[in-house]
Amino acid sequence: MSLSYSNKESRVSQTVSTSHPLVSIAIVSYNQERFIAEAIQGAIAQDYRPIEIVIADDCSTDNTPNIIREFSTKYPDLIVALLGSENLGVTGNSNRALSACKGKYINMLGGDDILLPKKISSQVDWMEQDANRVFCGHACEIFYDEEAIPPKVAYPFFTFGKGPKQIFMNGPPYLALSVLFRKSALPPYGFDKNILIASDFMLWIDLAGGGGLWGCVNGVHARYRKHSGGLSHISRQENLLIDTEQVIKIASARYKLYGYQNISIMNLCTIPKLVFFFKKRMLFRFASEFTSSLLKNPIVFTSCCLRILARRRKSRRNKF
C-alpha cells in the first residue's frame, strides 16, 4: 500500500488558523459494533476545533460499518469514513487511516477507546510551544467493560525525553491512544509493515529517531478499554512479545542502538514474559524462564528488575 502524507488543505470545512492547526483523529476499527459509537462520540465531543475524524474499518463482519456510515452521514464535515474491502490487519489498517489524515497533528485510537473532551486542546497547546516536540502523551483510565474490576489510572512511566534511546530501552512511555504526534515527523512508510502487532512501539521510536522531544500533559484525558482474558488473550500476549523482539532488532540497526539491545530485550521481553506466566499461573514455564534468564545474564537481569520496580514506584507518584 502506497502512503501519501499530503499537506494539502483539509476537506473539512472548518476555520484553520496558525494558533489552531487542523488535528486528525484517526479511529481504527474491526468488529466493534458494541463500542464504535462511543469512540466516535468521544472524538466529536472534543472542545478543540478544527478537527477531522478519519475512521478506517478493517472489513468488519458485524454492524460496525453501518454505524460508521450513519455517523458519516450525520457529520459529513467532520467524519471521513474508510470502509475497507480488504482486511489488512492492525498495521495495514492503521496505515490506511494515516494516508487519509490531513492534520498537522494526528491522534490514533481503537474503535473501543474513549477520548475525554479536553484531550486534543491540552496536547496541541503543549506541542505548539516548540517545533522540536514530536509527540505528547498523558495519563489514561483503564477500565474493564465485561468484568467487575474497578478502573485504575495508568500514569506515564516517563514525563519527558529526547530521541529514541529511552523508548528503545524501556518501551512506550505512554499508552498509544494518549499520543498526539506531529505529522511532519512521520517516517515515509508510516507504521512499519514488518511489525504486525507492536507497530505503535516502532512508530514512537521512529518519531523520536531524529532527536525530537517528547513529553506529556497533566490530567487524565482518555479511557482505555481492556477485555477479559482466555486462550486467545494468552496467544496474543505471546505474539506481542515476539513482535517486540522484532522491533528491538529493527530499531537497534536503524538507529545504531546495539549497545542497549540486551537491556531492551530483558526489560521488554524477558521480564514481561515472566510476569505474564506468573499472572496466568503458568508456574512451570515461569520457573523455567526465570532460571534460564538468571543464569544467562544475572547482572543485567537483576539490574533490570530493580529498574522496573523503581520506575513503577515513580509512576505511581507522578500523578500530575
Helix axis angle for 271-279 and 283-296, nearest 10°, is: 160
What is the full DSSP assignment across 97-133? HHHH--SSEEEEEETT-EE-TTHHHHHHHHHTT-TTE
Rounded to two decimals, the pTM is 0.84
Contact assessment for residue 23 and residue 120, using Cβ atoms and an 8 Å cutoff: yes
* Pick from 203, 177, 140, 175: nearest CA to 27: 177
Chain mean position to CA 42: 17
pLDDT for position 8: 33
Q: Is the pLDDT of residue 204 over 80?
A: yes
Residue 281 has pLDDT above 50, yes or no: yes
Query: Is residue 183 predicted with pLDDT exceeding 80?
Result: yes
Over residues 128-135, the mean pLDDT reads 98
Q: Exposure of 96 by Cβ count < 10 A (0-12 exposed, 13-18 middle, 19+ buried)?
A: buried
The kind and range of the H/E element at 82 are strand 79-83
What is the longest distance spanned by two Cα atoms in the chain? Answer: 62
Q: Are 116 and 36 in contact (CB under 8 A)?
A: no
Domain residue extents for the chain = 1-115, 232-317
Report which of 39, 96, 103, 113 is spatially closest to residue 71, judged by C-alpha positions: 39
What pLDDT does 7 receive? 34
Tell me how far apart the alpha carbons of residues 52 and 79 are, in angstroms, rounded to a whole number. 6
Mean pLDDT of 160-186: 96
Which band of pLDDT confidence, cut at 50, 70 and 90, is reported for residue 1? very low
The rounded mean pLDDT for the chain is: 86
Name the least confident of 26-35, 100-109, 112-121, 310-319. 310-319
pLDDT one-digit tens code per residue, 145-160: 766 788 999 998 788 9
The CATH classification of domain 1-115, taken from the options 3.30.450.20, 3.90.550.10, 3.90.79.10, 1.10.1740.10? 3.90.550.10
> For residue 180, is pLDDT > 80?
yes
DSSP string, 12-76: S-S---SSS--EEEEEEESS-TTTHHHHHHHHHT-S--SEEEEEEE---SSSHHHHHHHHHHH-T
Q: What is the pLDDT of residue 300?
A: 74
| pLDDT of the residue at 153 | 93
Give CA angle at 252 (246, 254), nearest 5°. Answer: 100
In contact, 108 and 177? CB cutoff 8 Å: yes
Please check the confidence at residue 320 and state whether its pLDDT lies above 60: no
C-alpha cell, 108: 490514533
Within 8 A by CB and 6+ apart from 119, the residues are 46, 107, 138, 180, 221, 222
Cα gap 82→230, rounded to integer Å: 31
